[in-house]
Amino acid sequence: LEAAKAETVTQCKTLEARVVELTTFIEESRTELSEAKEGNLALKTSVSALETKLLALRKELEASMYEKEEYRLKAQSATEALDDFTGSMESRVAAIRKEKEAAESRNFNLLKERERQAVESAHEWEAKLAAAMSESAKELERREADHQAALAHEREVHRNSLEEANRRAMESGESAVAAAEQAREEAVESLRRTMLSDSSAGLAKAKSEHEAALYEQQQAHLAAMQALKEEMSSTVSEERAHRVRGEERLRQESSTTLARHADAHRAELAERESTFLNERERLQQELVAAQEEAASNARMQADAIRRLQDESLQLKRSIAEANDATARLESNLANVRDEAASKLRDSDGQRRSLAEEVERLKAALSLSKAETKKAKKVARDMLNQQKAQVTQLLEEHSSSIFGRMKSVLSAENSDDED
């Protein structure tokens, strides 16, 4: 009995130690379960926070999508406006080009017409100038012919007068020579008669007288010839001087007439040339004015085209900015999507890990529960056996031991119930 009692006490102590161990394990399991519940609650809190953040991200994504749609609509409207503006500008540029081409054609036709008129006027003035020059040349030729005819007439008159003077001089010389010959013949005849009548002394005297008379006659003849020559030379010099004076007078008259006509012709030519120069200057001024007008039109068209190009560039820059903003929004949206996806993946991973941990904890808890149940069953079986043994022992032993065992069993039952 003492041995059974000691064995029973030992078994009770073992069972108490086992109960304490199971109680400790149950407490640890409860602690782990509470920690798992707290972790699950924290996980649920983080999952709800992630869901809230995901909802915010979805709202932000929807807002960005809405903003992107607005930007797309604005870009589309801006593109349509740009297309309309470009079409209107192209039509305006085409109209301006057509107007420019029409203005250039008009200016070109006007310039051609003015050039043709200037050329015709120049040809007309050249024809008039050539006609005037031909008329003046004909007038000069006629006057030169008249002057030459007058000079020829004067020369003919002078030649006739000179021939008449020469003829008279020759006739007077011939008459003087004839008179001298006649005097000489008379002297010779008288000398012959004297020689026939007189003697030789008288012959010498007569000869000397005759020679003296002949010498005197010769001297007189020479003086007459010299006077005739002087008269002829004076007549010739007078005729020459008269002819020179006539030629000089005719030359002066012709030079005066020619100078007067030349001055008149020069004045007329100068007047025509000044008129032609004025007309050419006027045409050049009109041409310069037309060129300046064409240049101003070209500058205005270039300014209009430049303004249109600047407006088009501004619209293109605004469209590019809108596209850049859209691209930034798309990139931000993609980043948000990636971040949300990564966070979702992380949350899914955390959720899966938490679920796995919960499953592991649940499995451990179920395992611990099964082990606890098994241990409880074993303990209960052992307790039942021990109860039966104790009951048997209690029936065999004293009431004190029975009361103690009853208290122990009641304590064990309370622990089992707990």
CB 416 within 8 A of CB 380: yes
56 pLDDT exceeds 70?
yes
Residue 248's pLDDT is what?
Answer: 73
What H or E segment, with its residue span, contains residue 198? none
Instruction: Tell me the chain's radius of gyration from C-alpha atoms.
Output: 82
pLDDT single digits (tens) 335-383: 656 765 666 566 566 556 655 765 665 665 566 566 656 655 765 666 5
Query: Predicted confidence band at 145 (pLDDT cuts at 50, 70, 90)?
Result: confident
Query: Can you point out the beta strands (E) in 103-262?
Result: none
- Please give the Cα distance from 247 to 238 (Å, whole number): 14
Mean pLDDT value across the chain: 68
Query: Predicted confidence band at 323 (pLDDT cuts at 50, 70, 90)?
Result: low
- Please give the Cα distance from 191 to 331 (Å, whole number): 169
Residue 45's pLDDT is what?
Answer: 80
What H or E segment, with its residue span, contains residue 418? none
Helix axes 200-396, 2-197, angle to 10 degrees: 180
- Please give the Cα distance from 68 to 65 (Å, whole number): 5
In this structure, what are the phi and psi dihedrals at residue 195, rounded to the nearest 5 degrees? -65, -35
Mapping DSSP to helix (H, G, I), strand (E, B) and coil, where does residue 398 land?
A: coil
| pLDDT over 70, % of the chain | 41
In the block, which residue shows the tokens 């008009």? 106
Distance between terminal CA atoms of the chain? 32
In the block, which residue shows the tokens 């691209």? 327
What H or E segment, with its residue span, contains residue 319? helix 200-396
What H or E segment, with its residue span, contains residue 199? none
Sign of the Cα pseudo-torsion (217, 218, 219, 225, in order): positive
CA angle 172, 174, 180 (to 5 degrees): 105
Mapping DSSP to helix (H, G, I), strand (E, B) and coil, where does residue 1 land?
A: coil
pTM summary value? 0.30
Residue 251's pLDDT is what?
Answer: 66
Lowest mean pLDDT among 37-51, 130-144, 212-226, 384-398: 384-398
